[in-house]
Amino acid sequence: MNTFYIARHGETKNNKSRRLSKCIDTPLTQDGLVPTHAVIDKLANVPFDAIYSSDLGRAFITAYTIAKGLNFTDEIQRLAGLREVNYGVAANMPSAIAYEQFPLLDRNTEYTPPEGESLEHMQQRVLQTVAELDAQHSNETILLVCHSGVMAALKASHIGQDFGEHNISEAYPHEYVGVFTYADGAIDNFEEFK
């Protein structure tokens, strides 16, 4: 059985200014990788066989920083399947304005914003990506570096909670690290790794 660890990217300019980023690429802040050093400390004694990253720059830069900090020298694979949800026309809007214009955004699992994707579609995409990764590895330890929405999609699936409801009740800070396994086509034992 494979063991998956999951870490969030560093702080971005959009995070700091409270703008929706999701699947657009927004640069890290000057101190954006400070939380990543806490992630490296948490993972210091975990020997990874593979590291995968969302294909968005903020996640890949974070993954590269973690790999360097852990002396991991293999290639980091970038996967579009680990991207954050696509907010469509709401992307890059100030959060307050976006939620005023699109009140179901991030809360209704089936709602699709104009030119975007629903939480349900995004969750299916992420679960399919994890299933494919699980099939490619055997009894290995794998790190995924991605986004808070990916963490929420996986955790909500594991606990059987509606994705939109989970978004309202749960937060994943930049220094968060989760760990889970995948068995019988489902996320198993998702918990915070400290």
DSSP 38-67: HHHHHHTT---SEEEEESSHHHHHHHHHHH
* Assessment of whether the complete model's pTM goes beyond 0.75: yes
> What was the pLDDT predicted at 15?
85
Q: Which pLDDT value is given to residue 25?
A: 78
As a dihedral over the C-alpha atoms of residue 122, residue 127, residue 132, residue 134, rounded to 10 degrees, the angle is: 150
Summarised one tens digit per residue, pLDDT across range 133-170 is 999 999 999 999 999 999 999 999 999 999 999 988 89
The neighbour count for residue 31, using CB atoms within 10 Å, is: 10
Domain ranges of the chain: 3-192
Top CATH class of 3-192 equals alpha beta
- Span 82-101, pLDDT tens digits: 999 999 999 889 999 999 99
Read off the pLDDT band of 22 (50, 70, 90): low
Average pLDDT in the 51-67 region? 97
pLDDT score for 13: 83
Report the pLDDT averaged over residues 168-188. 94
Which candidate, 25, 30, 24, places its Cα nearest to that of 11? Answer: 30
How many angstroms separate the first and last alpha carbons of the chain? 21
What are the CA-CA distances from residue 94 to residues 16, 21, 22, 101 (Å)?
Answer: 11, 9, 12, 11
What pLDDT band is residue 121 in, cutting at 50, 70 and 90?
very high
Would you state the structure tokens that stand for residue 72, as one six-digit string? Answer: 């991991």
pLDDT band at 115 (very low <50, low <70, confident <90, very high): very high
pLDDT digits (tens, 9 = 90+) for 66-75: 999 999 999 9
Instruction: Please give the DSSP secondary-structure letter assigned to residue 24.
Output: S
- What single-letter amino acid sits at 185? G
* Cα dihedral across residues 177, 179, 185, 186: positive or negative: negative
Residue 21 has pLDDT above 90, yes or no: no
For residues 68 and 127, give the distance between their C-alpha atoms in angstroms, rounded to a whole number: 28
Where do we find the tokens 């409801």? Answer: 165
Residue with more model confidence, 23 or 20 = 20
Is the pLDDT reported for residue 24 higher than 90? no
* Residue 16: other Cβ atoms inside 10 A: 14
